[in-house]
Amino acid sequence: MPVVTSTKMFADAYKNGYAVGAFNVNNMEIIQGIAAAATEHHAPLILQVSKGARAYANHIYLMKLIEAAIDDAEQHAGFALPICVHLDHGDTFELCKSCIDGGFSSVMIDGSSKPYEENIKLTKQVVEYAHDHGVVVEGELGTLAGIEDDVKVAAEDSSYTRPEEVEDFVTRTGVDSLAIAIGTSHGAYKFTAAQCTRNAEGLLVPPPLRFDILKEVEKRLPEFPIVLHGSSSVPQEFVKIINANGGKMPDAVGIPEEQLREAARMAVCKINIDSDLRLAMTACIRQYMAEHPEHFDPRQYLKPAREAIKNMVAHKIVDVLGCNDRAAAAL
């Protein structure tokens, strides 16, 4: 079975109040862990590749590994695993074109840091090429704080999406989905201590997402799929394991899972998760290394790391995104 677009996934997600997980992939173990969780829970899947991931692993390796995940699910689980392969944060027409020509079924053109009219012009150019090739496009309005690829956006330079712009942007560009900024942020340090309060245990509690903006966008764009970037929850159990085993991640903080669940019940159809994969894998490897200082075969620590990714993704699918048992609707 070939890779699929996100069109049917989003239509079903919108109608049934859930979101599809968009997980960033960089190597075989990450792809295998995510695919195993989706296969077990019959979930549709978006695997996304950043410019950095392409530079690290090479486009063709990632594409073939993703195709292998589909074939493996079919052959060993007898299950048609619907996977959409998506370019995350494409920043130029040329990059988007290269991914479209290379077999991706979806691309993001992120013109959110550009002036409004420039964002429209670039996004429209990508949409025209993509749609001619049967590929769907995600655009973005509003700027998230945090780190993506090699770009760091300070909290003071981030800006919420302006709902009054969304209809004009979607109509003039022809995008298939829209990423908006309602207070999520990239990376494992989403908020400074000054932006948060602290709970009884001294842990940081982030400011709530701006559901008022999401509601306004939803009103202006009925039935149109909305995307949330920067949606890792930075589970404190991983941070604790990392810090107890030689790591140093003080005050790492993410988006509370109940707020993501709430967003998924609304117009949000795609939720982006990368940092939580990194944390699951790093926590597992650090602990393994500390407990088995004599081991040096990478398979010994990558196997439990892959399992940790599978368990984390299974939890997201069932308890946060609500996309379990919706795979058939994506085909």
Active site residue 150: no
32 binds ligand G3H (CB under 6 A): no
User: Looking at the DSSP assignment, which residues form a beta bridge with residue 310?
Assistant: none
- Closer to Zn ion at the Cβ: 86 or 229? 229
- Closer to ligand G3H at the Cβ: 83 or 145? 145
Token duo for residue 274? 């990368």
Stretch 91-150 residues interacting with ligand G3H (CB under 6 A) = 148-149
Helix extents (H) in the chain: 7-16, 28-40, 51-57, 59-77, 93-101, 116-132, 163-173, 211-220, 236-244, 257-265, 275-291, 298-315
| Count of residues engaged in binding ligand 13P, rule: CB under 6 A | 13
Closest separation in Å from C-beta 186 to ligand 13P: 4
Let me know: does 100 contact 134? Beta carbons within 8 Å.
no
Q: Please choose which of ligand G3H, ligand 13P, Zn ion, none residue 53 contacts, taking the beta carbon within 5 to 8 angstroms, the exact cut-off set by kind.
A: ligand G3H
- Closer to ligand G3H at the Cβ: 280 or 330? 280
Helix extents (H) in 133-200: 163-173
Q: Please choose which of ligand 13P, Zn ion, ligand G3H, none residue 149 contacts, taking the beta carbon within 5 to 8 angstroms, the exact cut-off set by kind.
A: ligand G3H
3 state DSSP class of 253: strand
Would you tell me how many other CB atoms lie within 10 Å of the CB of residue 200? 5
Residues that bind Zn ion (CB under 5 A): 229
- Closer to ligand 13P at the Cβ: 218 or 274? 274
6 binds ligand 13P (CB under 6 A): no
Question: Catalytic one among 88, 91, 176, 276?
Answer: 88
* Through-space distance between the first and last CA atoms of the chain, rounded to whole angstroms: 10
Only one of the segments 50-58, 153-161, 282-290, 296-304 lies at the binding site for ligand G3H (rule: CB under 6 A); that segment is 50-58
- Closer to ligand G3H at the Cβ: 149 or 216? 149
Which residues, other chains included, contact 6 with Cβ-Cβ below 8 Å and sequence gap of 6+? 20, 46, 84, 86, 105, 106, 136, 176, 177, 225, 269, 270
Which residues, other chains included, contact 78 with Cβ-Cβ below 8 Å and sequence gap of 6+? none
User: Looking at the DSSP assignment, which residues form a beta bridge with residue 259?
Assistant: none
Q: Which residues are tagged catalytic?
A: 88
Summarize as ranges the residues that interact with ligand 13P (CB under 6 A).
Answer: 24, 88-89, 186-187, 229-232, 272-275
Summarize as ranges the residues that interact with ligand G3H (CB under 6 A).
Answer: 24, 50, 52-53, 88-89, 148-149, 186, 274
